[in-house]
Structures are given as structure tokens and as C-alpha cells.
């Protein structure tokens, strides 16, 4: 279930947004301040943050930085009392989805929220694929990782065998084990996975 988090110090605005989002079957959580939001244990699932740029204590923009630094990646839609171009530029550069001036059209807000949720969904999918890959990679033996790294860097089996000082047949066995464990259907598949994992072929230890 998609969720929208609203952070605004103005109760009237919070309540209005709550009603608007619920009318299109979105789950809503309301917060009066950034601190309240940080304390809240967010349930897992696609979500986005609708944030007033002027907040008591800490400004919306500073809060955006704070979230980035804490590694909390959540799409943000900013609201502002009056259109402020430098502010909006900064917000968009830091990855905001949209920047809406109050009062905004409901459709604009809903479109922005839909876009944000879609972005979060994609991020989440990419993240979970990556996580699965990493788990599989963790299961490889040291030798299998070495073989995978060298093979995906473009070396022939024979060259790998030479590089590692092993027989070609042994390399083939390791390679096939690695592909099975990584659930790679082809060598090309394995190369893509290796790129996703950010692997780099270990430099030849022998010159």
C-alpha cells in the first residue's frame, strides 16, 4: 500500500492534505515537524514525503540534506508559501520531485505524489534486485569470486587458468558453479551482474 508522509507545521494544511490523499485511497501519516517524522518508524513500502519548505526549527531544505546524509532516500515534494526560485532550484538539484506553491491545484499535487511513488517503487525494486544479487555473491567461494571477476573482465578460460595457476578444467568447474549460484543464464548475464555489484578484476599478481 502506498503511503504519503506530510510534514507541515500548519494543522489546517495537514488536515486538508490528509483528506485529499485519502480520497484517492492513499495512506497518509501527518507530522507537525521534521523531528516528529524522524522519530517515526516508517513501515516498509512505497512512500513519499510532502514537505513544507518553511518549518519551525529546521527549514525543509536543511531537512532534505539531513535525510540524504542519513542515507534515507525518499522522494520529496516541496510546498512553499510563495514561489521562491533560488529555493526551488536548490531543492530540485538535491533530488526533489516537485516544488508546489500554496495554494496548489489538487491535480498537480496528486500527479506529483503519483510520480514520487512511482520513483520510489522503481528505487525499491532496483534496490531489492541488487540486494538479491549481493546475497548470491556472498555465497560464492573465494576461488569462484576470483574466477567470476576474471571471466567477466573478458579473459578466456585458458588465460584465467594461466592467471590463477590452475588447470583450464578446474576453471570451467568454478565458472559453472559461480553461474549456477548467481542464477546467471549466460556469460553476458554474469557480466551485467558483475557491473551491478561494481566488481573489478583483480590485477594480475604476476607480471
Partner 1 sequence: MSTFRLRWWPTPPAVLAYGVAILSVTAALALALLLEAWVQSAPTVSLFLCAIMFVAWYGGLGPSVLAVVLATVYFTLFMVEPTGAVAVDGHDVPRIVLFILTTVFVILLSAAQQRNAQELVRVNKALLAEVAQRRRVEAYLDEAQALSRTGSFGWTPASNDLFFSKECQRLLELDLDQRPSFDDILARVHADDRPMVHAVRERSDAGQPDHDYEIRWRALAGTTKILHVRAHRVRLQSGEEELVVAVMDVTAARRAQEALHATEVALTHAARVATLGEMSASIAHEVNQPLAAIVTNGAAGARWLDRQPPDLGEVRSAIERMIRDAQRASEVVQRLRALARKAPVERQPIDLNEVVGDSIAFLQREIQTRRIVLKSELRPGLPPVVADRIELQQVVINLMVNGMQAMERVSDRPRLLLVRTSSETGSEAGQAVLAVQDSGIGLDSASLTRLFNPFFTTRPAGLGLGLSICRSIVESHGGRIWASTNEGPGATFQVALPLSTERIA
User: Which positions lie near partner 1, rule CB under 8 A?
Assistant: 9-10, 12-13, 15-17, 19-20, 22-24, 54, 56-57, 79, 81-82, 102-106, 109
Q: How far is the CB of 76 from partner 1 (least distance, A)?
A: 18
Contact between 95 and 8 under an 8 Å Cβ cutoff? The reply is no
- The CA–CA distances, whole Å, from 77 to 51, 99, 100, 161 equal 6, 6, 8, 54
28 versus 140: smaller Cβ distance to partner 1: 28
49 versus 109: smaller Cβ distance to partner 1: 109
49 forms beta bridges with: 5, 76
Q: Who's near 29: CB < 8 A, 6+ residues apart?
A: 3, 4, 5, 6, 40
- The CA-CA-CA angle for residues 21, 91, 82, to 5°, reads 70
106 versus 201: smaller Cβ distance to partner 1: 106
Q: How far is the CB of 91 from partner 1 (least distance, A)?
A: 18
Q: How far is the CB of 84 from partner 1 (least distance, A)?
A: 10
1 versus 12: smaller Cβ distance to partner 1: 12
Amino acid at each position: 500500500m502506498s503511503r504519503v508522509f506530510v510534514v507541515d507545521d500548519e494543522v489546517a494544511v495537514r488536515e486538508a492534505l490528509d483528506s485529499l490523499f485519502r480520497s484517492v485511497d492513499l495512506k497518509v501519516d501527518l507530522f507537525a515537524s521534521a523531528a516528529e517524522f524522524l522519530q517515526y518508524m516508517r513501515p516498509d513500502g512505497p512512500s513519499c514525503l510532502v514537505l513544507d519548505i518553511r518549518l519551525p526549527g529546521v527549514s525543509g531544505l536543511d531537512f532534505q540534506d539531513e535525510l540524504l546524509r542519513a542515507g534515507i532516500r525518499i522522494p520529496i515534494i516541496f510546498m512553499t508559501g510563495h514561489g521562491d526560485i533560488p529555493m526551488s532550484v536548490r531543492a530540485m538539484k538535491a533530488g526533489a520531485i516537485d516544488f508546489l506553491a500554496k495554494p496548489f491545484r489538487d491535480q498537480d499535487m496528486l500527479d506529483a505524489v503519483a510520480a514520487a511513488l512511482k520513483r520510489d517503487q522503481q528505487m525499491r525494486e532496483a534496490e531489492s534486485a541488487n540486494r538479491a544479487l549481493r546475497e548470491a555473491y556472498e555465497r560464492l567461494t573465494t576461488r569462484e569470486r576470483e574466477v567470476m571477476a576474471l571471466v567477466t573482465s573478458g579473459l578466456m578460460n585458458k588465460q584465467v587458468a594461466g592467471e590463477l595457476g590452475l588447470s583450464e578444467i578446474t576453471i570451467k568447474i568454478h565458472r559453472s558453479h559461480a553461474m549456477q549460484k548467481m542464477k546467471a543464464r549466460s556469460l553476458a548475464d554474469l557480466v551485467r551482474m558483475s557491473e551491478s555489484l561494481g566488481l573489478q578484476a583483480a590485477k594480475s599478481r604476476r607480471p
